[in-house]
Structure 1
Amino acid sequence: MAERPAYQRIADTLREGIRDGLHPPGARLPTLAQLVALHGVSEIVVRQAVALLRGEGLVETRRGGGTVVRAAPPVRRVAMDRYRRFAGAAPEPAPEPATTFTHDQRIAWNEYRLDREFTRVRAEPDLAALFELPVRTELLRRRFVFYSRGRPHQISVNYLPWSLVGGTPVADPAREPWPGGTLAQLGFLGRAVTRVEESVGARMPTPEEAETLRMAAGTPVVTITRRLISEGHVMEVCRDIVIPADRVVLDYAIDL
């Protein structure tokens, strides 16, 4: 078997040191000159090794600060039963406002921020099929960026039938964030959610997503396509919820 290229062997050594704690989060890796001398290779080879680790999201290079080990971001656990708390037209009163996001992040309402952009659109064929409505049905499109303690953690693009929300407070971006989120909004409109469907996928982020969510190079995203259904009628399609894969664990339980 052919010997592995030198840059891969150097990356293996550094990766093992990171995982074993020899290079803890926030620590600087040896300098290029030190790695060149240690391994007896050219600077180009060392740069290739560091680029490999950077592409895996293990390290980041800072201007004037060398290459440092990335700290693992806090992991958010997302469970399917999180929706129960916020479903219905009259949820139980809470000590302070909350949504599924603040509940998952375990943050207070004043630590939550929501950037939003509302537009009216027509349903293209794939979106119309998810709604089970005719093509070109008018919809309200809402794009949200969710922040926890000042850091962006999630992008969500959801759609609601304009015939349902047009002229209501739900179509007013100034009313966001709405305590209880979309489930509470549908309850307010008299369409309490009786079923939630989610399809989970994974892919690499678009450049805009990576920049918005301040993601490290090489990190994929988890995507969740969601439908909120009330008595057999699709009231909302979220396409998609986008979360960096290194910041989330999806928990699903099935009672048999």
Structure 2
Amino acid sequence: MAFGEQPAYLRVASDLREKIVDGTLPPHTRLPSQARIREEYGVSDTVALEARKVLMAEGLVEGRSGSGTYVRERPVPRRIARSGYRPESGAGPFRQEQAAEGARGTWESRSEQEGASAEIAERLGIEPGDRVMRTRYVYRDAGEPMMLSTSWEPLAVTGRTPVMLPEEGPLGGCGVVERMAAIDLVVDNVAEEVGARPGLAEELLTLGGVPGHVVMVIARTYYASGRAVETADVVVPADRYRVAYHLPVK
């Protein structure tokens, strides 16, 4: 194969992708069968199969049991705003962003204690196995799961205080900044790192994706005078949402 020349399966996938994007193959249309692809493009069964696999991995088509492979409806990406702390609200980031977008979101959560993994311990600046409060969230917009989040707070900081459980007690449901202020810790900065990876099976089951779909992961950590007081992983479907930042310049 000459330098820069695409393998046959990628050339076939590229042509089919173009037909999907320009509407020649509209949503819910059945993708040409493997035999049809083989005949139309003059390729082997293996090449036809690999081209279909590429389109499926890209989320452009989906298999339907006993029926075939169909073009998926392409969602119009929506914004998830990340705009820093707004002290007048007293709410956590999701509640602030929902209010800003005029949306009516709901969420459910579950908290439990566990020993910190090596990764979480490093992010929090504690020792592996130290006790943390882990809280898992599912956020919904108009009933549709839109975002997952798992947060970890060191119990050396919050244990035996009124804010030990993020969603219970007098400050249940408030943001990290307000909750930490209640125990005399001033959160003065937050770090976020955005990455992407294939979604885990349990994540995609909740979010409504299919195996191979990509999710964005926002790894967020709040600090008070250099001490990490909360770290979280926020998981968002990459094909349905865009993360938009609006940050103040000081």
TM-score w.r.t. the length of structure 1 is 0.75
2:165 to 153, 171, 188: 171
SS at match of 1:84: coil
2:19 to 17, 20, 24: 17
Q: Quick one: which amino acid aligns to residue 228 of structure 2?
A: V
Q: How far did residue 14 of structure 1 move?
A: 0.9
Q: Distance in 1 between matches of 2:80 and 2:110?
A: 25
Q: Quick one: which amino acid aligns to residue 149 of structure 1?
A: A
Is the 2:199–2:212 Cα contact (8 Å) retained in structure 1? no
Q: Distance in 1 between matches of 2:129 and 2:8?
A: 56
SS at match of 2:239: helix
Matches within 5 A, 1:124-163: 124-163=117-156
1:245 to 231, 235, 238: 238
Q: How far did residue 212 of structure 1 move?
A: 2.8
- Counterparts in 2 of 1:174 and 1:16: CA distance versus 1, 3 Å: same
- Counterparts in 2 of 1:63 and 1:174: CA distance versus 1, 3 Å: farther
Is the 2:82–2:97 Cα contact (8 Å) retained in structure 1? no
Q: Quick one: which amino acid aligns to residue 24 of structure 1?
A: P
State the partner residue of 1:235.
229
Q: Distance in 1 between matches of 2:89 and 2:7?
A: 61
Is the 1:105–1:148 Cα contact (8 Å) retained in structure 2? no
Q: Distance in 2 between matches of 1:124 and 1:183?
A: 24
2:230 matched to 1:208?
no
2:103 to 102, 107, 111: 107
SS at match of 2:55: helix
SS at match of 1:211: helix
SS at match of 1:72: coil
Q: How far did residue 17 of structure 1 move?
A: 0.5
Is the 2:147–2:237 Cα contact (8 Å) retained in structure 1? yes
- Which range is displaced more, 56-65 or 122-131? 122-131
State the partner residue of 1:84.
85
Is the 1:142–1:158 Cα contact (8 Å) retained in structure 2? yes
- Counterparts in 2 of 1:29 and 1:253: CA distance versus 1, 3 Å: same
Q: Distance in 2 between matches of 1:9 and 1:134?
A: 51
> Identity of counterpart residues, as a percentage?
32
Query: C-alpha root-mean-square deviation of aligned residues, in Å?
Result: 3.5
2:212 matched to 1:218?
yes
SS at match of 1:153: strand
Q: How far did residue 65 of structure 1 move?
A: 4.5
Q: Quick one: which amino acid aligns to residue 46 of structure 1?
A: A
- Counterparts in 2 of 1:49 and 1:137: CA distance versus 1, 3 Å: closer
- Which range is displaced more, 41-50 or 53-62? 41-50
Q: How far did residue 216 of structure 1 move?
A: 3.0
SS at match of 1:246: coil
* Number of equivalent positions: 244
2:31 to 26, 29, 32: 29
- Which range is displaced more, 46-55 or 98-107? 98-107
How big is each residue's C-alpha offset from its partner over 1:32-88, in whole Å with a ceiling of 9 and x where there is no partner?
Answer: 55445534556665333222210111111223543222223342434442x323x4x
